Structure 1
Amino acid sequence: MDAPEIADDTVTLRPERSQSGFDGYSVWVDDERVGSVALRQESRSTWSIRWNVGTGEHAVRWAIHAVGLAADHVLGELGAGRVEARIPVDRTADVRAASICGLRKEGVLRSAPGEQDRVLMARLASDPPARSRDGFIAILNAGLPTKRVIAQGLWRDEAGRVLLCELTYKQEWDLPGGVIEVGESPAVGLARELREELGLDVTVGDLVTVSWLPAWRGWDDACIFLFDLGTADASITATMTLQPTEIAAVHWCDPATVHERATAAAAQVLDAVAAGTPTYRESAPAPD
């Protein structure tokens, strides 16, 4: 293999014979071979990287140096625009090492039964340095967990009944609202959802409560922000333009109807509101 050695003050990457389309390097610390790194060109501007430096006491440190050298080589000397790695999900130390080297988590690639899912991580030539402020924040943003946020509205008529939406995609009725978009505040998102689904511009009032909703029927857990929408004349429903793909009908519901038709989470939060709900609450697990 006609390639130079690559080294820093800790490890040296020495070229080895290419195999299966990969350019191989052995990883050396002092005079000891501790592992290997392999590179492969996947497209005109994208290279992949894989490595193995074992699981010993210094493995993470060696991986950080080896992967960092290889990634710098690909994006620098080889002129690539992207270097990526696909790491088995149980190799958390390797995921950490790749992150320290500036590779951002882009998702989890699902595998066929009997095989292991893999974390997809990548670094672009245009990314800020991993140890810069912007680079550090970007890497954390890519790897930190996210929480689904839902905003819903508590809307009553003059008789004290609560507005519930009859949905097209589940049997239970629910409070008006929906999932908040990335970068959107819960209050703004609720106003958008009411405009999209009910065809009305509504003033969103004060926050009533925040509820944590456990995972349910395959849905991930979420935080629900419940806002006060005030009191409206019951006839307002006749002026609504319902989004047909999501809302089949709307109904003013008394407590008995709420318990008969609403989702468990909606019924629980409305009971809590009637009893004087705290600012924060956690919904009980719903029946499957």
Structure 2
Amino acid sequence: MVTLTDDGLVLEPTTGSDEFTGWSVNVDGERRGTIALREETRSSVSVRWNTGTGDGALPIATRAVRLVLEHAFASLGVRRVEARVPVERAGDVRAASIAGMRREGIVRGAADEPDRVLMARLVDDPPAASRDGFIALLNAGLPTKRVISQGLLRDPDGRVMLCELTYKSEWDLPGGVVEVGESPAVGLVREISEELGVDVSVKSLLTVNWLPAWRGWDDACIFLFDLGVVDPAITETMTLQPTEIRSVQWCDADRVAERATGAAVELLAAVADGDLPTYREAPLQPE
């Protein structure tokens, strides 16, 4: 056990259990909290701390965590340090991030246990103060928005193609969720190829339609692309992905209103009106 220092902040070893290696956190001679490491595997440890929530708690926690990270990598030879911070402790999540720990996800709590933010730093991560390190920390912590690409495919009579889905009773436009690093247009072509077995050509973007959270689904942005007018016999050449698509149907306005999801009905009605803005927000659908 060694004493760790950073200007006026001093981590003094404490007598603890065999499970933990701990320090008291002292600032200018005043005890402000505790911090400890626990061995998880041969190459990884976890860190936990308590420096309160009062004035100065954030910079104290940040400096203490940074000191312990440096000690773990340089002196203990570990390759990963992780922390599981209760989600309500936003200040400690921020302190860990500033110290260089990346957000990796949420560990759900069982029974009365709180959900916890899983954060970690690896020995070969770029320095937190460097450009690469700063971008990596932001990418790990910034919110993400679910993006869905859908295609408007019509026949010469103006009917719209809808997919009968295996996982919900309502029908919907062809398309799906865009993958990480994939453009919305490329994602639409891929989804239709995977689910319907045909290749389509994206014509233009009709609108971006924001969907509020609904029936347990998080909110999302739908990119609606025009896929043009095709021979209705195209459905005869399709190979449907059986785990997701039961059938495809050509639907007029009445059929759309009868069978489509509420969001699709509202969106297609706006398309039919002809005054479609580049960006729009869909109304909340009834549960």
Task: Name the TM tier (shorter chain).
Answer: over 0.9
TM-score (norm: length of structure 2): 0.98
* SS, match of residue 178 in structure 1: strand
Residue among 240, 246, 249 paired with 1:248: 246
Q: Which amino acid aligns with 1:97?
A: A
The answer as to 2:31 corresponding to 1:33 is yes
- Residues 182-221 of structure 1 mapped to structure 2, 5 A cutoff: 182-221=180-219
Residue among 148, 151, 156 paired with 1:150: 148
Answer yes or no: is the 8 Å Cα contact 1:180–1:186 preserved in 2. Answer: yes
Residue 21 of structure 1: aligned partner? 19
Answer yes or no: is the 8 Å Cα contact 1:84–1:123 preserved in 2. Answer: yes
After superposition, give the CA deviation of every residue in 1:222-248 in whole Å (9 maximum; x if it has no partner).
000000000001111111111111110
State the 1:147 CA deviation.
0.5
Distance 1:222 1:31 in 2: 51
Distance 1:10 1:141 in 2: 32
Query: Could you tell which deviates more after superposition, 106-115 or 83-92?
Result: 106-115
After superposition, give the CA deviation of every residue in 1:145-197 in whole Å (9 maximum; x if it has no partner).
10000000000001000000000111000000000000000000000011101
- Residues 21-100 of structure 1 mapped to structure 2, 5 A cutoff: 21-100=19-98
After superposition, give the CA deviation of every residue in 1:95-136 in whole Å (9 maximum; x if it has no partner).
000000100111111111222111110000010000100000
Residue 282 of structure 1: aligned partner? 281
Answer yes or no: is the 8 Å Cα contact 1:211–1:223 preserved in 2. Answer: yes
Distance 1:20 1:122 in 2: 23
Q: Which amino acid aligns with 1:6?
A: L
Residue 110 of structure 2: aligned partner? 112
Distance 2:64 2:210 in 1: 43
Distance 1:205 1:76 in 2: 56
* SS, match of residue 172 in structure 2: coil
Distance 2:108 2:165 in 1: 31
Answer yes or no: is the 8 Å Cα contact 1:130–1:139 preserved in 2. Answer: yes
Q: Which amino acid aligns with 2:192?
A: L
State the 1:20 CA deviation.
5.8
Residue 157 of structure 2: aligned partner? 159
Distance 2:211 2:110 in 1: 31
State the 1:52 CA deviation.
0.8
Residue 130 of structure 1: aligned partner? 128
* SS, match of residue 255 in structure 2: helix
TM-score (norm: length of structure 1): 0.98
The answer as to 2:249 corresponding to 1:236 is no
Query: Could you tell which deviates more after superposition, 164-173 or 15-24?
Result: 15-24
State the 1:34 CA deviation.
1.0
State the 1:32 CA deviation.
1.0
Q: Which amino acid aligns with 1:27?
A: V
Structure 2 unaligned segments of length 5 or more: list them. none
State the 1:205 CA deviation.
1.1
Residue 10 of structure 1: aligned partner? 8
Distance 2:278 2:238 in 1: 31
Answer yes or no: is the 8 Å Cα contact 1:37–1:51 preserved in 2. Answer: yes
Note the aligned Cα RMSD (angstroms).
0.8
State the 1:19 CA deviation.
2.3
After superposition, give the CA deviation of every residue in 1:21-72 in whole Å (9 maximum; x if it has no partner).
1111011111111111111111000101011111121111111111100011
Answer yes or no: is the 8 Å Cα contact 1:164–1:173 preserved in 2. Answer: yes
Answer yes or no: is the 8 Å Cα contact 1:10–1:65 preserved in 2. Answer: no
The runs of at least 4 consecutive aligned structure 1 residues that moved more than 2 Å come to none
